[in-house]
Amino acid sequence: MNLFEYEGKNLLKKYDIKIPRGKIIKTESDLKTAITEMGLTKGVVKAQILSGGRGKVGGIKICESTEEIISSYQEISTKKIKGQIVSSILLEEKLEILEEHYLSIVYDTNKQQPMLVYSKNGGVEIESVPKEKILFYFIDPNTEFLDFPIPFANNLWQLFIKEDLRLVEINPLVKTTEGQFVAVDAKIAIDDDASFRHKEWNELEPRTVMGREATKRELAVKKIDEGESYYRGTAGKYIELDGDIAVLFSGGGASIANMDALIQAGGQPANYTEYSGNPPREKVYALTKIVLSKSNLKGLWIAGGVANFTDIAETFQGIVDALDEIKPNYPIVVRRAGPNEKKGLEIMRECAKHNNLNIKLFGKETPMSETAKILVELINK
């Protein structure tokens, strides 16, 4: 999960990495209070969105007067930046900058290790800096103290391992005219799989999805995988899209192949959803209910590959529980195979019969992509 800049900076501060004085602003009256409290005559107004490159598209304004701070706030807070709503603004003091550096720690998938990346040519996208001007340093993940002659190297490393980050990037890390290093930006992604040892992550404000606020359905689906058995099968992935074909995919790989196939067949997905790892009936039921709660649906595609150990009967029972309640009248196409497939398809057939549903069922003899075409044809009939 990606953090907002201000959340990232709070973490930097916790590890004694210097950040500019700043305040998070949600309303114009907050802003006026903050200007007075911070004693600002100049300042920087920064849109809080989950995307880089804000500066180039007017998401960051350097202001030379308090009037300019207020007008910049009004401008930025009411528009979309990079297609994303601006949920809040970070107001910061303006620093006198001498140099702009770059500092990050990421995972390198070739070496399978964390890697520190540093350059004195910061302030621009690191991809545009010539390779010879960038320092790459691989870190043994067992390192307790990172002794490396770069400002904040060990602070950043402690932050990276103790807070379970996937990525931390400070660009720019500026050197002020007073000779101090200050983190002017913070891009941080946390490792969701470490949530069991970070109860504090529950307190983070809801993320935007696709550049907008999370929908009610997205928030509701997320809850399915919370709690003690969070790792016993996954059924909590749902992204709401603009199309009209609801999908219930099983398996991470099959889900992306199927999204490709549905779009290639001319269908417009209403959502992206994937359940996997043999989730219990209750989780699949809860997921299906939410997926089918979207209005104006024209079809439902339930598709997955040949499962290894996900029980088709159990997971389909969860889907059937929801279909029994909702009784959709649009076409439904099912393609699935794996353990207990016969029983699973039989449960589905029974459900179709007593609810008079328009369902077509396929097993592994029919490829997944083909059933996407079948559904699209049924809808267009």
Partner 1 sequence: MSILINKQTNVLVQGITGKEGQKATRAMLSYGTNVVCGVTPGKGGQTVEDRPVFNTIKEALQKFPEVNTSAIYVPPFAAKDGILEAITNGIKTINVMTERVPIIDTAICLKTAKENEVRIIGPSSLGYIVPNVGRVGVVGGPLELANEIFQAGSIGVISRSGGMTNELSWQVRQAGLGQSAAIHIGGDLLIGTNYRDLLELFEQDKKTKAVIIFGEHGGSYEFAIVDLLKTGGFTKPLAIYVGGKFANLFPEGTTIGHAGAIVEKGRGAAEKETALKNAGAMVAEHYEELVTLIKPYA
Residues that bind partner 1 (CB under 8 A): 2, 50-52, 83-84, 107, 109-110, 112-114, 127, 140-142, 161, 164, 166, 189, 191, 193-194, 196-197, 210-211, 230-231, 234, 239, 241, 250-257, 259-261, 263-264, 272, 274, 276-278, 304-310, 337-339, 341, 364-365, 367-370
Amino acid letter, 348: M
Identify which of 232, 259, 235 has the alpha carbon closest to the alpha carbon of residue 245.
259
- 8 A C-beta contact, residue 326 and residue 289: yes
Q: Minimum distance from CB of 256 to partner 1 (Å)? A: 4
- 8 A C-beta contact, residue 187 and residue 7: no
Beta strand pairing status for 134-138 and 113-119? antiparallel
Distance CA 320, CA 351 (A): 6
Beta strand pairing status for 359-362 and 332-337? parallel
Nearer to partner 1, 2 or 293 (CB): 2
Q: Minimum distance from CB of 214 to partner 1 (Å)? A: 13
Nearer to partner 1, 52 or 328 (CB): 52
Nearer to partner 1, 31 or 312 (CB): 312
Q: Minimum distance from CB of 215 to partner 1 (Å)? A: 15
Nearer to partner 1, 16 or 370 (CB): 370
Amino acid letter, 357: L
Nearer to partner 1, 297 or 368 (CB): 368
Distance CA 250, CA 247 (A): 10
Nearer to partner 1, 136 or 196 (CB): 196
Q: Minimum distance from CB of 319 to partner 1 (Å)? A: 17
- 8 A C-beta contact, residue 159 and residue 14: yes
Tokens 């992204």 belong to residue:
239
Q: Minimum distance from CB of 307 to partner 1 (Å)? A: 6
Nearer to partner 1, 58 or 277 (CB): 277
- 293: phi then psi, degrees, rounded to nearest 5: -85, -5
Identify which of 361, 360, 280 has the alpha carbon closest to the alpha carbon of residue 321.
280
- 23: phi then psi, degrees, rounded to nearest 5: -145, 145
Q: Minimum distance from CB of 351 to partner 1 (Å)? A: 23
Q: Minimum distance from CB of 39 to partner 1 (Å)? A: 36
Nearer to partner 1, 58 or 339 (CB): 339
Alpha helix stretches (DSSP H) within the chain: 5-14, 28-38, 66-78, 153-162, 216-224, 252-264, 281-291, 312-326, 341-355, 368-380
Q: Minimum distance from CB of 330 to partner 1 (Å)? A: 22
Q: Minimum distance from CB of 96 to partner 1 (Å)? A: 32
172 preceded by a cis bond (ω within 30 of 0): yes
CA distances to 160, 226, 332 from 250, in Å = 33, 19, 16
Nearer to partner 1, 347 or 372 (CB): 372
Angle 168-169-172 from CA coordinates, rounded to 5°:
155
* Residue count (the chain): 381
